[in-house]
Amino acid sequence: MNSLWLSENKNDKFESLSNNIETDVCIIGAGIFGMTCGYYLSKAGLKVTIVEKDEIGHKTTGHTTAKITSQHGLFYTYLVDTYGESFAKDYLSANQDAIENIKNIINNEKINCDFERQSSFVFTTNPSEVSQIKKEVDILNSLGFPANFVTKTGLPFEIAGAVQFQNQAQFNPIKYLNGLANSITKNHGEIYTNTTVYDVKHSDDMFYTFTPNGVISSKYVILASHYPFINFPGIYFFKMYQSSSYVIGIDTKKTLNNGMYITASSPTYSFRTANYNGRKILLICGSDHKTGTPLSYEDTYGALENYAKQLYPNCEILFRWDTRDCITLDKIPYIGRFSNTMDNIYVGTGFNKWGMTSSNVAANIVCDMIWGRKNEYAYVFDSTRVHPIKNRTEIKNMITESVNSLALNKFKDSDIDFDEIPINSGGIIDVNNQKVGIYKDTSR
């Protein structure tokens, strides 16, 4: 099945690149980060070219749950303990600003994308976790943010407690990207889809982006391809891993309350409502695992469907889809210069499953760098960072995660066969004594 967002909002009016072109900024990737950069830069008068190997938003953005929130789990306790109050406050402010930035774009461009203000909740049903919930509320209040502790929500079951963020939002991300595309082309930007980039070279203060049917010459390059496909000198493959999640969209056959929800601890379940054919349906996300770990249907979609039927016995499954997110070892996105050794090439990656606000934060930081303006939040997300970490436990966790990250996983022996990899999953198998990464879908 396709995602809800891609089932009815495809934008396939753009063509592939077929010749050599020159531009001010070449943006590689037409997900929400790349398209937001294209929007801001083209509106400011720069000549922008966006290239995408698929269609607009067909990868991670088209498979998100599309919550626009600064509430990224029980995250601010971690930030204060690890980096201090000032750092945590700036992270919060950057993401709060992003919510308003998105709303302003929607208003200014008159984009019909089902934008709705919602409260966001991190909740627990376990009384032993209430102290963590209350600590998060206290920390947020000390940062000047009006978070609330609540015990009543719109969920169809009782909870022990939750952190509430008011005035957050949700939307349809593909409708939003289609609106951005209209604005970009109106401002003389160019978008090329079904155009794969296979190399980027730098010479004489210019970048040359190579595709099968043309080379793009530009002063600036923005890597907005979700996972940076250029390995060196950025070595992002050593600083991140990928996590897979699964989503089902259900008709509950009942009236649904508003609100966006996520559990405080594992197993993770996330909820939000969405509009479909004039009715409100429920999206349930969960079954997270490291990408490449083979899991069965019963462990992924099956687990979500069983959970949904416990809550809504008569529900109908309308959609199933999965996605992959880049997770950074220190839990902070990488935004800014691709490397300290290279000028005028920028990156936004590692949004840690919170890409709707993080993408806008990233676009503002990168665009400010291109314009030569100082961005007050850039230091928080510095892609070349070596942050001073106050929490020794987190240092140990990061080292452990790094050892198990993609950088070293490729040296592990393959212990599975092709037939053991379930549909809609990936893994590493041996082919003629060589390790090969594969992904199995339903098209074969």
The alpha carbon torsion through 176, 178, 184, 189 (nearest 10 deg) reads 140
Cα–Cα distances in angstroms (integers) from residue 31 to residues 334, 344, 352, in the given order: 16, 21, 15
- Name residue 202's beta-bridge partners: 207
Prediction pTM value: 0.88
Tokens of 121: 């909740």
Q: Would you tell me how many other CB atoms lie within 10 Å of the CB of residue 444?
A: 5
**Do residues 270 and 284 lie in contact, with contact meaning Cβ atoms separated by under 8 Å?**
yes
In a domain, 339, yes or no: yes
The pair phi, psi for residue 157, each rounded to 5°, is: -155, 165
DSSP-derived secondary structure for 353-409: T-HHHHHHHHHHHHHHHHHT---TTHHHHBTT--PPP--HHHHHHHHHHHHTSHHHH
Rounded to an integer, what distance in angstroms lies between the CA atom of residue 184 and that of residue 190? 7
Rounded to an integer, what distance in angstroms lies between the CA atom of residue 115 and that of residue 68? 10
β 116-124/21-28 pair status: unpaired
β 48-51/21-28 pair status: parallel
Place of tokens 């998100």: 64
DSSP-derived secondary structure for 284-310: EEEEEEETT----GGGTHHHHHHHHHH
116: CB partners within 8 A, 6+ apart: 169, 170, 171, 258
Cα–Cα distances in angstroms (integers) from residue 102 to residues 201, 222, 260, in the given order: 33, 20, 18
Q: Which residue in 207, 214, 243, 412 sits closest to 331, CA to CA?
A: 243
Cα atoms in the 13 Å half-sphere on the side-chain side of 424: 18
In a domain, 428, yes or no: no
In a domain, 4, yes or no: yes
37: CB partners within 8 A, 6+ apart: 25, 27, 48, 222, 224, 348, 362, 363, 366, 367
pLDDT at 424: 46
In a domain, 386, yes or no: yes
Residue 333 sits at the vertex; the CA angle it makes with 177 and 110, to the nearest 5 degrees, is: 20
Element (H, E) at 40: helix 32-43
Residue type, 290: K
β 425-431/279-290 pair status: unpaired
Q: Which residue in 312, 352, 311 sits closest to 330, CA to CA?
A: 352
Rounded to an integer, what distance in angstroms lies between the CA atom of residue 145 and that of residue 79? 14
29: CB partners within 8 A, 6+ apart: 50, 51, 52, 223, 224, 225, 226
How many angstroms separate the first and last alpha carbons of the chain? 14
The boundaries of the domain holding residue 218 are 1-66+172-239+330-409
β 342-349/214-223 pair status: parallel
pLDDT at 8: 81
Rounded to an integer, what distance in angstroms lies between the CA atom of residue 190 and that of residue 273? 34
Rounded to an integer, what distance in angstroms lies between the CA atom of residue 153 and that of residue 261? 9
In a domain, 159, yes or no: no
Length of the chain, in residues:
444
Residue type, 71: Q
Q: Which residue in 377, 370, 381, 360 sits closest to 176, CA to CA?
A: 360
Question: Residue 25 belongs to a domain with what CATH number?
Answer: 3.50.50.60
The alpha carbon torsion through 365, 371, 373, 379 (nearest 10 deg) reads 30
In a domain, 131, yes or no: no
- State how many domains the chain has: 1
Q: Would you tell me how many other CB atoms lie within 10 Å of the CB of residue 314?
A: 9
pLDDT at 397: 59
In a domain, 35, yes or no: yes
pLDDT at 2: 82
User: For every one of its 444 residues, what pLDDT tens digit does the chain have, with 9 covering 90 and above?
Assistant: 689 999 987 767 899 999 999 999 999 999 999 999 999 999 999 999 999 999 999 999 999 999 999 999 999 999 999 999 999 999 999 999 999 999 999 999 999 999 999 999 999 999 999 999 999 999 999 999 999 999 999 999 999 999 999 999 999 999 999 999 999 999 999 999 999 999 999 999 999 999 999 999 999 999 999 888 887 776 778 788 999 999 999 999 998 899 999 999 989 999 999 999 999 999 999 988 888 887 888 889 999 999 999 999 999 999 999 999 999 999 999 999 999 889 999 999 999 999 999 999 999 999 999 999 999 999 999 999 875 555 556 556 555 555 554 444 444 444 555 555 555 445 556 665 555 555 555 443
Burial string for 168-192 (b: 16+ CB within 10 Å, else e) reads bbbbbbbbbbbbbbebbbebebbbb
In a domain, 255, yes or no: no
